[in-house]
Amino acid sequence: MSRVGRRAAAIVVPALIVLTASCDKIWGISPRTLDPNLVCDDSGCRCAAGFGDCDGDQGNGCESDLQKAPETCGTCGTRCDHGTCSDGVCACKAGFGDCDADLSNGCETAIADNPLSCGACGHDCLGSPCNGDRCAPVLLAKLYSPTSLALDGGYLYFGGCNATAIQRIPIRGGNPETVYSGQGCIRALAIDQGSLYFATKDQILAMKLDGSSSPSLVVDAPGVSEALGVVGGHVYWREESDSIYLNRFSSTKGLEADLGNDNFAFHSLSLTPKGAYWAGAASIEYLSHTNKFVVDIAPVQSDLMTGVPAFTIDAAHAYWAEPMSGGIKTVPLGGGAESVLTSAGKPTSFFVDAASLYWTDAVTRDVRVVPLGAPNAASAVVATGQEIVNSSLIVGDEDAVYWFTIGAITGTTGNDTGKIWRATK
């Protein structure tokens, strides 16, 4: 006989309905009252499915609803605090999670403001606060007029227009340290094979990331712009002189100039081991490392003054912002039908990972994110109220995204109007 049956056999349950003789004979009592949540047959008496004797009080029988009661959800002793119990399963309410895997205390963690479990159990904000299920942005550094960003080996490198032209800072925060001191502005940064490449007004230089070498000249590059890319020793950049050109340099072929002539500026280059991609004035374009023939992948509608403001690729697709249509579009790298990923204000720079596309927006002053693979999906705010201008950049790694803002747009002045930010994904 079950534990509940043995307890019930020792008592007379207060009156509801008198049991039939079958249960009276099994329990050896007469008369007794009927517990509606008790089932009796020739094999004995037990709690009906979905009910239990959880308080140990024999006088009230199988008093606990295991299907719906948050105090006894599924089994006696399993609580569903901050949740709803349905069919014996606890579902946490919005803003709470069962992060300690202890069924006895339910959804014990308030994930809406917990920096170690922000929005989801185990989502660590890496030292920044958690507000409304999202990790708040954290200020990493201040500098005058930031121009460029690059990530490698646990450090964020940033260039600017000041005496300490290139600095770096640990991605988890710390004190900036000088990498390169020089006059004038750093136009762009790129990292490849353990070396940091950077563009000044008319040169591209390189130095080892470990500090084992001083900067050395890679190639003279008059009119080099913010569009710089390096992969496998192939160096690409946009030259802006009387016209706008794509140039390439490698140690084997030397300088190959004027490979692609566009009427309007392209602002970024995305490189793979096989070639370079960029958004031209009228199309997404591709150039193999081994030839000089530019291939059009998809048409674009660019702004007649500024071209396509933001562009990037992942392993399979290209992504670009079309200011004329107010959307972010995507197309397979091998060509095919394009689709709208989401609507946007005016993206200035993209970062894409395996699941999402992030961007800085000069109209909404937000950093935003949208999931991949869902056409016309709604985007979400990563950081709001940012001082983002047309030249703002965003980069990222598997844990966080990083971007810079320029405070001068609000009328502030000084040597620290630019700011470097981090937000955990």
Every domain of the chain and the residues it spans: 1-65, 133-424
Tell me the C-alpha distance between 27 and 5, whole Å.
8
| Whole-structure pTM value | 0.78
Tell me the C-alpha distance between 231 and 245, whole Å.
19
Half-sphere exposure of 26 (CA within 13 A, CB side): 17
Burial class (CB in 10 A: 0-12, 13-18, 19+), 349: buried
pLDDT of residue 282: 83
User: Concatenated DSSP letters for 217-253?
Assistant: EEEE-TTEEEEEEEETTEEEEEEESSSEEEEEEETTT
Tell me the C-alpha distance between 411 and 413, whole Å.
7
pLDDT of residue 110: 93
CB atoms under 10 Å from CB of 54, counted, come to 19
| Residue pair 326/346 in contact by the 8 Å Cβ criterion | no
Q: Taking the chain (425 residues) in consecutive chunks of 10 residues, what is each chunk's mean pLDDT?
A: 43 36 42 67 84 82 89 89 91 92 88 92 90 89 88 93 84 90 88 95 93 91 90 92 82 88 76 94 91 90 74 96 86 93 94 97 93 92 88 93 76 63 93
Between the CA of residue 222 and those of 191, 199, 215, 238, 287, what are the distances in Å? Answer: 21, 10, 18, 10, 22
DSSP state of 37: T
pLDDT of residue 297: 94
Rg of the chain in Å (alpha carbons): 32
Tell me the C-alpha distance between 265 and 394, whole Å.
19
pLDDT of residue 263: 59
pLDDT of residue 40: 83
Which superfamily is assigned to 133-424 in CATH? TolB, C-terminal domain (2.120.10.30)
